[in-house]
Amino acid sequence: MKTRIITPIALAVTLALTGCQSGNDQQETAKAEQVVTANPFFKAWDTPFGMPAFDKIKVEHYLPALEKGIADLKAEIEVVKNNPEAPTFENTIEAMEKSGDLLDNVTSVFYGLIGSMSTPEMQDISKKISPQLSALGDDINLNAKLFARVKAVYDQKDSLTLNTEQKTLLDKTYRGFVRGGANLNDEQKATLRDLNEQLSKLSIQFGENLLNETNGFELVIDNEAELDGLPAAIIAAASATATERGHEGKWVFTTHRPSFYPFLTYSTNRKLREQLFYAYTHRGDNDNANDNKAIASKMASLRFQRAQVMGYKTHADYVLETNMAKNPENVYGLLDKVWPASLKRAKEEVADMQAFANSQGADYKLEAWDWWYFSEKVKKMKYDLDEEATKPYFELNNTMQGVFYTAEQLWGVKFTKRDDLPKYHPDVTTYEVTDRDGSVIGVYMTDFYVRSSKRGGAWMSSFRKQYKMYGENVQPLIYNVLNYPAPVNGEPVLLTFDQASTLFHEFGHAIQGLLSDGYYRSLTGTSLPRDYVEYPSQVMENWMTEPQVLANFAKHYKTGEVIPMEMVEKIQASGKFNQGFATTEYMAAALLDLKWHTLQTAELQDADKFEAETLQELGLISEIAPRYRSTYFSHIFAGGYSSGYYGYIWSNIFDADTWEVFKEKGIFNQEAATGYRENVLETGGTEDPMEMYKRFRGKEPNPQYLLERRGLVPTSK
C-alpha cells in the first residue's frame, strides 16, 4: 500500500525551508532531517491500512506540512513543465495526476478534521493557507508553458490509443485548465487571481461566522412548566446541554438541529417556538461580528465578475457547464415543473393544519414556527402515527446494523468493528470492510454526535480515496459525520424516522467511496457532477422502509420486539405526507441559490432585500421559510454547491427511476444489484454519468417517477 515518504525533492525543499544551504555542515543537515521526521505527515504511517496517525498529529504539524506539500507540488509540476521530451499522455497528463501526494494527504486530514474538530488554532491555519492554496491553483492553471503541453496532448487525442478512463482524465485535465483561465491574457489572469483569492478568504469567513452563530445562541429555560409537550429524552438532552454550558439545574436548547427540530415539533409554548425559530433563521443576520449579509453579497458579486472574465454570462452558466444540467435554462426547466405542484400541495397542507389548529382552540393564523408542531399533530390524526412511538424502534446502533444488513444483502459487503484502529475522537467507531470473497475493501468510520467543534449537517468524505495509479489497489478510508444528540446518562440514542433516513442517505455516499474501482485518484469515488453525486445516497434511503429490512433492525431497544407491521404500514402510508412543505422549503432554497448566481451585475445587493424579493416573486407562503436563508446557506457560500443546490432534486430523478428497477425485480435482486454496483458505484467519475446510467438502466431516467413519489402528480400505474 502506498504511503508518503520523503523524496529527494521533498527533502531538498525542507532543507531550503529550514535555511540549510548546500555545503552546510552535517549538524545543520541532521537538524533539517529531524524537522522532517518530527512531523508525522513527513513519514510513512506505521498504522493498520496506512491510516492517519491521529494520535501523533498535533495542530502545530499542519501548517508546516501544508506549506511543504505546496512546495512539493510546485517542484513536481516544474519537472512536468520543463520535461525536454515531447508531450505525451504519460509524461504530462498522468505525471500531473501523480503529483501532489503529500498535499493530498495533509489536506484530506486537515479539512476533514476542521469540519468536525474545529478549533480557533485550526481556523487560523485555514485562513493563512487558503490564499496559498488559491494561488497554487492559479499558478498551475495559468502557467502558459504547462498548458501548452496539456493542449498538445489534447489536440492529438483522436490519434492516441487511450482507454475510457484515460480519455476522461485527458478531457477533464484540459477543461480544468481552460476553465481555470489558461486561455486568458495576462491582464485577465491577474484579475482572476485576485478574484479567486478574495473568494477563498470570504468563503472561510462565512463558515467561521456561521459556526460561531450556531454555537453562540442558547434558549435557557428555568421553569419546568415551559417544557410542556417535550418528550422525556429531549428534556434530558436539554438538561445535559445546560450542564455542559454552565446552567446547572436548567434546560438549554440551541440552534443545532437535534435540539431545534424536536423543540419546534413538540413544545406547546408558541412564544418560545417563535424565539428559537427566529434565532435559527437569523443566524448570520444579526448585524454583529458574525454577520454574513455583506459576505454573501460580495461573493455573489465576485463570482459574477469572475464569470465575466471567463467569458460567461453568469456564475451559474460557468458552473453548470460541467454539470448534467449544462445550463441555467435546463435547471429552471425542471424546477418550474416541480415548484407549482409543490407550492399547491403546501397550501393544502397549511389549510389542513389551520383547520386542525382552529378545532383545538387556536385563534391565530399559523406561522412558520408552527409548521412542525401542527404537522406532527395532523400526521398523528391522519395516520395514527406518532413519531415518538416509532423512535424506540430506531435505536442508533440497531439502525446502523440495518444499513450493514442492506449492504451485505445487495453486494455481499461486510463490516467488522475494529477497536484497535486509529481514530480522531472517542465518538468515532471504525470498521474493516470486506467484500463477498473476504478480500479487504477499505475502512469505514462513523462520527455521529453533535458537538460545538463540529459544523452542522451530515456528510461523507475520505482520508484517502481508492486508486490504482501506482500499480497497486490503494484502499479507501471513508467516513460519515452526522449530528445526532449524544447519549445522556447511558441511555441509547433513539432516532426519528428522518434521522434514520439520513443515516442510510450518508451511507449511500460512503458505499460509493468504498466500492470505487478506478485507476486515477481524481476520478474515483464521489468525483461526480454536483447534480449526480446525490443520486447513490438518495437511492439508499429506499431500502430503509422495506418490511424485510425493517424486520432485521427496527427492534424495540428495550423489549427486542420487531416493529409491528401495522406501524410499518402507517409509516409507508404517511410517506407522501408533508411533501408539499418538504419540497417547497427545499425548492425555495434551490431557487434562491440560482437567483444569487444568475445575477448579471457586480453591484452589491442588500442581502435581506434581495432574498425577500426573490421569495415574493416565487410566491412562497409566509408559513414556510426556505430551508436555507442566504446568511446561513453554507452549501453555496462556504461549500461547493453554488448554483448547484438544485442537484438534490435532479439526482432524485435518477433515484426514483432506479428504485423502479428494484421494485420490479426485487429489492435484493442480484442482477439489479450487480448492475448498479458495476455501472454506478464502482465507476465514480471515470466516464460520462449518463452513459454509465444508461448501461445500468437501458435508458435515460423518467422524471415522472419523482413527481409520483412526492405525491405531486397522480400515479400513472
CATH topology of domain 8-168: Neurolysin; domain 3 (1.10.1370)
Listed in order, strand segments (DSSP E) in 450-537 are 459-464, 477-484
CA distances from 433 to 242, 418, 484, 699 (A): 39, 10, 24, 33
Residue 297: pLDDT band with limits 50, 70, 90: very high
Element (H, E) at 199: helix 186-216
Element (H, E) at 306: helix 293-310
Listed in order, strand segments (DSSP E) in 469-613 are 477-484
Cβ-contact 531, 689 below 8 angstroms? no
Question: Cβ of 22: how many Cβ atoms within 10 Å?
Answer: 8
Element (H, E) at 504: helix 497-515
CA distances from 596 to 299, 387, 633 (A): 10, 37, 12
CA distance 228 to 5: 60
Maximum distance among all alpha carbons in the chain?
89
Cβ-contact 292, 206 below 8 angstroms? yes
Q: In the predicted model, is pLDDT for residue 15 greater than 50?
A: no
For residue 552, the model assigns a pLDDT of 94
Residue 11: pLDDT band with limits 50, 70, 90: very low
Cβ-contact 530, 640 below 8 angstroms? yes
Taking the chain, what is the end-to-end CA distance rounded to the nearest angstrom? 52
Domain span(s) for CATH 1.10.1370.40 in the chain: 8-168, 392-577+648-709
Active-site residues: which are they?
A: 506
| Concatenated DSSP letters of 640-670 | S-TTTTTHHHHHHHHHHHHHHHHHHH-TT-H
Domain span(s) for CATH 1.10.1370.10 in the chain: 293-383+579-639
Average of per-residue pLDDT values in the chain: 93
Q: In the predicted model, is pLDDT for residue 18 greater than 50?
A: no
Burial letters for 680-705: b for 16+ Cβ neighbours within 10 Å, e otherwise? Answer: bbbbbbbbebeebbeebbeeebebeb
pLDDT in tens, 655-667: 999 999 999 999 9
CA distances from 388 to 115, 262, 523, 579 (A): 31, 10, 43, 20
DSSP state of 55: T
pLDDT in tens, 410-426: 999 999 999 999 999 99
For residue 214, the model assigns a pLDDT of 95
CA distance 597 to 530: 15
What burial class does residue 154 get, using C-beta atoms within 10 Å of its C-beta: 0-12 exposed, 13-18 middle, 19+ buried?
Answer: buried
Cβ-contact 241, 485 below 8 angstroms? no
Closest CA to 524 of 483, 465, 446: 465
Angle at 506 between CA 503 and CA 510, to 5 degrees: 125
pLDDT in tens, 230-250: 999 999 999 999 999 999 999
Q: What is the CA radius of gyration of the chain?
A: 26
DSSP state of 92: I
DSSP state of 576: G
Give the helix, strand, coil percentages of the chain, each rounded to 5: 60, 5, 35
pLDDT in tens, 518-546: 999 999 999 999 999 999 999 999 999 99
CA distance 419 to 629: 41
Would you call 501 helix, strand, or coil by DSSP?
A: helix
pLDDT in tens, 104-121: 999 999 999 999 999 999
Residue 654: pLDDT band with limits 50, 70, 90: very high
pLDDT in tens, 677-712: 999 999 999 999 999 999 999 999 998 898 888 877
Residue 388: pLDDT band with limits 50, 70, 90: confident
Kindly state the percentage of the chain with pLDDT values over 90. Answer: 89
Q: List all residues 6 or more positions away from 84 whose beta carbon is below 8 Å from its beta carbon.
A: none
**Angle of helix 144-155 relative to helix 164-179, nearest 10 degrees?**
140
Query: The domain 293-383+579-639: what is its CATH number?
Result: 1.10.1370.10
Torsion-angle region of 533 (φ positive above 0: left; ψ -120 to 50: alpha; else: beta): alpha
Closest CA to 108 of 64, 151, 62: 62
Q: List all residues 6 or more positions away from 694 whose beta carbon is below 8 Å from its beta carbon.
A: 700
Please report the sign of the dihedral spanned by the C-alpha atoms of residue 277, residue 282, residue 533, residue 113: negative
DSSP state of 313: S
Cβ-contact 334, 649 below 8 angstroms? yes
Residue 386: pLDDT band with limits 50, 70, 90: confident
Q: In the predicted model, is pLDDT for residue 549 greater than 50?
A: yes
3 state SS for 116-166: HCCCHHHHHHHHHHHHHHHHHHHHHHCCHHHHHHHHHHHHCHHHCCCCHHH
pLDDT in tens, 137-171: 999 999 999 999 999 999 999 999 999 999 999 99
pLDDT in tens, 172-227: 999 999 999 999 999 999 999 999 999 999 999 999 999 999 999 999 999 999 99
CA distance 258 to 261: 6
CA distance 456 to 631: 14
Q: In the predicted model, is pLDDT for residue 429 greater than 50?
A: yes
CATH architecture of 392-577+648-709: Orthogonal Bundle (1.10)
CA distances from 311 to 140, 308, 550, 574 (A): 20, 5, 52, 48
Q: Which three cell numbers stand for residue 499?
A: 434521522
Q: List all residues 6 or more positions away from 246 whose beta carbon is below 8 Å from its beta carbon.
A: none
